[in-house]
Structures are given as C-alpha cells and as structure tokens.
Structure 1
Amino acid sequence: MTLAEEFRSRNFSIYAQWTGILCMFLCFALGIANIFHLGLVIIFSIICLCSAFVILFLEIPLLLRICPTSEKFDTFIRRFETNYTRAGIYGIMSLIQWLSLLVKPRPTSLIAAAVFLLITALFYALAGVRGQGFVGSKTLGGHGVAQMIV
C-alpha cells in the first residue's frame, strides 16, 4: 500500500500516526526553543522534549528493534497498541502542555504542541469510536516491516 492509498483508506489511525510524527517534530523544536525561558516553563519544555522521544518510539515501531533500549522502556511503549490507549497518552501529553499556561502570564509557543497533541488524540479516539483497528503506516515501519528487519 502506498502512502496515497493509506490516506485514502479513511482510517483515522493512519491520520493520527502521521499527525503524531508532526507532533514529534513540534515537541522537539518547541521544547528546545522554550528551554531558554526563565521560570517553571523550563519544566514543561523538558517534558515536551521527552514527549518527542516517546512519540518517536511510539509511532515508528521499527526503532524499537534497531535502537538499544531497555526492556522496561520497550514494555512501556508496547502498552500503547490500541487506538484508545494511544488517544489516552496523547491526551495526557496535551494536558501537560496546556498546564504550561498556568505558570506563565503570557502564553508560550508550547500551546502549538498542546493543540497538535490534542488533534492526534482526537484522531486516535475517533478511530476507536468508529471501530477501526490500529493500522500502522507501512512507510513508518508498520505492517510487518519491523519483523522483516530482524
């Protein structure tokens, strides 16, 4: 299945997975950009950076096979195999970034990460509500590509 066919499949977990990749880049860039603020925003920046790496391993399953990670981390990532659990973790990551509004009188760019994390959570939740099973993008290492490597 090509990338265009994946998007035409109308499976919201595919849309969520690609939106998650966008979130990964946003969280990484905005985490670095906001780490230079003074005050408690630094904590949210560090959490945003950590979220980027969690999303990296969550959305690209091939990396769990080729990168040296601990068994504990692998078990943590493998918990999120359904649409609802993925919606939950993205919702939690979004909520944490929304809470950054409470510590700074003026909003920071971490709101962009919060919005896109929320959109990804909604895509996964919509896939779950519609009864669509989780389908990983073949481009990102889904559909048995990770099993072919090892």
Structure 2
Amino acid sequence: MKPRADETNTELAGILDALLASDIDITAREVARRHTSLRNASAFTRDTKRMELIRGAQARQQQLRTTLNPHVTHAQSLSEKLAEKSSDVVKLEAQVRALVASHAACINAVLRAGGMSALQRFWRDYRDVGDTLREVSAYPEVGEVVELRPKKC
C-alpha cells in the first residue's frame, strides 16, 4: 500500500491559511494548484479529513467576507439595479424633452390662433401647469424675447 502524502495535513492547513489571508476563493482546485505533492483536486475531495478542513476554511472565509464587507454579497445586484435606473433616467429625460416640445407647440398654436389675449386666457386656466413646469425646470428661467410685431418708427 502506498503511504499517504501529507498525513497530518500541515501543508494543507498552511495553504488554507494563505488563501484566507489573501482573500482568494478557497476551492479544492486552488488548493491542488498550490500543494507540492497532491496535484489533483480529487485528492482532496475524496478524503473526508481534507474536505472537512477545506469546508471549514470556506466557512471562515465566508464569515470574514461578510464581517469585513457586508455589502459584497449585494454588490452585483446593486450594479444591476444602477444600470436599470440609469436606463430609466435616459427614458424619462427623453419624455421630458418631448413634453417640453409639446408644451412649446401648444403655446405657439394658441398664439397663432388668437394672439396674446388668447394666450392670457389660456394661462388663466392652466397657471398651475406653468408653475409645475417651472418647479421641475422644464423651461429656463431666462428666455429669449422674440419680437412678434415689428416696432413702428
């Protein structure tokens, strides 16, 4: 019968401690890569004592990760949510631009149909709409003044 390599698992314990200290994912393959005599992952997965050591180290690693950085488990979902919210913002900004253009077209149509008096009547009924648009910065505070009728000299 072939003698067992690393009977006391001291090298395995050292490798597991090094992986914990470096915060490298502990797997049987990673341990096999670093072990000097046991080069196959199955040498660890088939041995119950070695697998117990690896599982214990994995549990310690998980505990350390959640203790030191509790947000690490939520980081991926947060980045996905951020990307989704960013696309929502882009859509909403496009909607606001369309609403502002529509608003300007309505004002222009009222002006053309009935002049300034019609526009004043229109704004009497919809003053709260104009105030709301000002609150959400749908139009600039300072506007360009356009002469509708040329001045008579």
Larger RCO (CA within 8 A; separation ≥ 6): 1
TM-score interval (norm. to shorter): under 0.3
The TM-score normalised by the length of structure 2 is 0.24
